[in-house]
Structure 1
């Protein structure tokens, strides 16, 4: 990350229920808590999960009179006629890091955002159903037969990014909800994902477990880095916070000392 050049972290997955928005909002808040100037753009005009989460956070700050780390944020609405590249440039004007949460569908604006990504994050549930988004697996051998349409989409976006400014896209696949998978199936998914990562070119990192905690925090807009505001946090809160820290560290952002993440929260 060079001076004056914001780093774009784009969360994208065309399948719903993967924890994409939860991962995106926690990333934005964690980076803001660590002292970075962060802007977040919600591109899902209908659901607006990221934007609503941060609106709830603003309301908690006002209601309790407390100070919480807060990224700047907005929602992209194509109906307003402002091109997505113009909107992303505006968000990046005063930010070191721009976090983008794309909708769970394929559209021209989502593809444009992926092309802008320096770090592309694709959260998936740890199952063959979600893995099929990226690669097709043989029913008998569990070997990867071929990359799927989404891998081809990312491949094309990477080529366009290279032609555009010579930059590369670091593609990260988050394995979410690991603890709820039967051990043998988890191993098969891991093997298939490892094989596919070499063929397609992404890094596999552990994401966030399926925890009730995340759903409980949404109405107040709190994250696991806000333990002081949660009140009487339990062991599960602490464990989930460590998952979050490890997830952010695994993104391997440039000029990003791990100690800053450890100190946040």
Structure 2
């Protein structure tokens, strides 16, 4: 009987193309928990099963932090170039175009201005989807412009870091952003305007070695990876076993590099509380 034989004509859908669950409806955490995607979204992308904070980008953070997701993006047309004509496996310029098309982002950071709990704030947020959230000339420039805007309008500044570090395709130009952004933050401090640094998973490399650790208040989400070099490199360099939970937010806080660890559902309230305290203004409920 031909219907008992697996011939090419019998197979309508190839085995490798079959999916038991439509893509996007479920999410699996690193601990193996399978989550309903809509429930995950309604809980700010945090698993109620194991408290795992799913990696999200600027779109989601803006939705969480700005009142009614109402904000104005500034400097959104600033885009990277390829001054070094860098070529690895492919041209950097071609990779930029492909990444911009895929992510609908100009680069690895967006800046927006809007109200959070009724008060205006400037928020810059990194996007890991854009070449690992790597810090290039555009990231540094947009951070500096965001600080200039905060100074001009006398507004607090929040920077959300999520990065693998400096962008190697821009070489020394990328590394220069560490000094550039750090110097600009000094001007913000002179104006006595609060800067809150939020470290998310992961915050590593030159980002950690510059603006991510320079906040008036440094905070993080639970379980975030925070460090300079990766654990494997450190272990190979030192030749020693690393402590348990090394480079997690909890480990970093215990050793004095963070002020607080904040659950994503409490981010908006806690950030505004810190700003109110720094500016000595009435706390908003």
The structure having more radius of gyration, on CA atoms, is: 2
TM-score by length of 2: 0.32
Could you say which structure has the greater relative contact order, defined with CA pairs below 8 angstroms and 6 or more residues apart? Answer: 1
Structure in which a larger fraction of residues adopt helix: 1
TM-score by length of 1: 0.34
